Amino acid sequence: MKKVLAIILSSLLVISAVGCSKPSTEKHNSAPNSNETAKKEAPVEIPSKDEINLDKAIELALREIDGTVVSAEYEHGTNSYYEVDIVKDKAKHEIEVEAKTGNILRNEIDNNYTYNIGEIKITLDEAKDIALKNIAGGTIKSLSLEKSGNVDIYNFDILKDKHDYDVEINALDGSVIKSEKDLND
């Protein structure tokens, strides 16, 4: 029995040695070892020229489910996408829109969503126009509809000249509640 086992082990060693001596034609992607340094990409906060913009992502998400947009933002990565949250019939739909193609990647439904949308007289498009008039030449990075006390407020994160600005618009009357440069950037 020991001889059989020794022969099998010897055969395996010979086979593995022959297999290791062949040059490999396959390319392997591997993580850098301790002597290599991984290249770090600079964070990109707005889409590239070959990607759809935030407005188009919202439009496509609203085609998927017609409701009230409560947030939208660009997610940069290997497969960049927009996450657009839409509320309809007390359910929140978290929709991912691929930035390159505009394809809907995911529509996850949260039926336990408790946000009560109050009286909104200012549309999202009107609120965006007001916010961009306050930060002329800026680009909206993200937006959300939130409640502050009993008032619904549109919040915008706007990029201009490499600086972030926070703008809050009252969803009932369109008044600007806050428009200031983000001191944390």
The CATH number of the domain holding residue 68 is: 3.10.450.40
CB-CB neighbours of 13 under 10 Å: 10
Q: Which residue has the tokens 């409701």?
A: 67
Number of separate domains in the chain: 2
Report pLDDT for 47.
67
Q: Which has the minimum average pLDDT: 1-5, 93-97, 181-185?
A: 1-5
Domain identity same for 169 and 140: yes
Please give the single-letter amino acid code of residue 169.
I
**Residue 141 in domain:** yes
Q: Is 138 exposed, middle or buried (0-12, 13-18, 19+ CB in 10 A)?
A: buried
CB-CB neighbours of 26 under 10 Å: 4
**Residue 6 in domain:** no
CA–CA separation, 103 vs 100, rounded Å? 8
19 pLDDT more than 50: no
Q: If pLDDT is split at 50, 70 and 90, which confidence band does 113 have?
A: confident
Model-level pTM? 0.69
**Residue 8 in domain:** no
Report pLDDT for 185.
60
Report pLDDT for 120.
87
Domain identity same for 59 and 92: yes
Q: Which residue has the tokens 């369109």?
A: 174
Residue 152 structural domain: 124-181
> Which pLDDT tens digit goes with each residue over 33-79?
333 333 333 444 566 777 899 999 999 999 999 999 999 999 988 88
* Higher-pLDDT residue of 18, 134: 134
* CA R_g for the chain: 26
Q: Is 143 exposed, middle or buried (0-12, 13-18, 19+ CB in 10 A)?
A: buried
> Which pLDDT tens digit goes with each residue over 158-184?
999 999 999 999 999 999 999 999 887
> Which pLDDT tens digit goes with each residue over 119-139?
789 999 999 999 999 999 999
